[in-house]
Chain A
Amino acid sequence: MTMEKRRLSKILARADGCDVAALSAEIQKTYSPVIVKEPGKTLAMIKMREPAQQSLFYLGEVIVCEAVVEIDGVQGVAVLMGDDAEKTLDMAIIDAAMNKGVFGGMDTLLRLEKEQDSRIMRENAMHLKTMVNFQSMDQEAPNDLSVFEKA
Chain B
Amino acid sequence: MAYVAVSGGKEAIEESIKLLDYYRSGTDKDLAIEAIENKLSLLVDRVMGEAGLYARTYAALALRQCEGSIEEAVFLLRAYRSTLTRNYYSDTVDAGEMRVVRRISAAFKDIIGGQILGATYDYTHRLIDFETGKEDPTALRQAMHKALAEQTPEEIVPCPRVSEELAKEGLIDRHSPNDQSPYDVTANILEFPTTRSARLQTMARADTGFVSGLAYSALRGFGQEHPTVGELRCGYVELYVPFLPDEKESLYIGEILITEVECFNAVDSKDQLKLAVGYGAVLGRNETKAIAMAVVDRELDNGGPYPAQNEEFVLMHGDSLEMNGFISHLKLPHYVTFQSKLDAVRKTRRADNE
Q: A residues bordering B, Cβ < 8 Å? A: 4-6, 9-10, 13, 41-64, 66, 75, 77-83, 117-128, 130-132, 134, 136, 141, 143-146, 148-149
Contact = CB atoms under 8 A, between A and B. Distances in A.
Contacts of B250: 5-6
A60 B239 contact: no
Contacts of A132: 109, 114-117
A51 B280 CA distance: 10
Interface in B44-74: 48-49, 51-55, 57-58
Nearest to A60: B52
A52 B275 CA distance: 11
Nearest to A55: B178
Interface in B62-114: 81, 84-96, 99-102, 108-112, 114
Contacts of A131: 114-117
A52 B156 contact: no
Nearest to B105: A145
Contacts of A5: 243, 246, 249-251
B153 A49 contact: no
A136 B168 CA distance: 26
29 contacts: A13-B253, A44-B88, A48-B93, A48-B94, A51-B163, A55-B175, A55-B197, A56-B197, A58-B186, A58-B197, A58-B201, A59-B281, A59-B283, A60-B49, A60-B283, A61-B52, A62-B54, A63-B55, A63-B58, A64-B241, A79-B251, A79-B253, A122-B151, A126-B151, A127-B100, A144-B109, A145-B110, A146-B112, A149-B112
A120 to B, nearest CB: 7
Contacts of A75: 245
A146 to B, nearest CB: 4
B181 interface: yes
B279 A50 contact: yes
Contacts of B49: 60
A52 B278 contact: yes
B179 interface: yes
Nearest to B249: A5
B118 interface: yes
A57 B86 CA distance: 16
Q: Give the size category of B's interface with A.
A: 35 or more
Contacts of A55: 175, 178, 180, 182, 196-197
A136 B108 CA distance: 12
A60 B91 CA distance: 13
A42 B256 CA distance: 17
B182 A42 contact: no
Interface in B14-60: 48-49, 51-55, 57-58
Contacts of A63: 53-55, 58, 81, 84
B135 interface: no
A60 B161 CA distance: 22
Nearest to B109: A134
Contacts of A125: 151-154
B84 A43 contact: yes
Contacts of B256: 46, 62, 81
Interface in B234-281: 238-241, 243-246, 249-254, 256, 258, 262, 277-279, 281
Given A56-B178, A79-B251, 9 more contacts: A6-B251, A6-B252, A46-B256, A60-B53, A61-B53, A62-B253, A122-B151, A122-B152, A131-B117
A53 B181 CA distance: 14
Nearest to A133: B114
Nearest 3 CB-CB pairs, A to B?
A81-B254, A121-B153, A44-B88
B176 interface: yes
Given A46-B256, A48-B92, A54-B177, A120 B53 contact: no
B90 to A, nearest CB: 5
B155 interface: yes
A130 B297 CA distance: 30
Given A43-B85, A44-B86, A56-B197, A122 B92 contact: no
A126 B156 CA distance: 12
Contact of B239 (A78, A81, A118, A143): A81
Contacts of B100: 127
Contacts of A43: 81, 84-88
Nearest to A78: B251
Contacts of B95: 48, 51
Contact of B93 (A47, A120, A149): A47
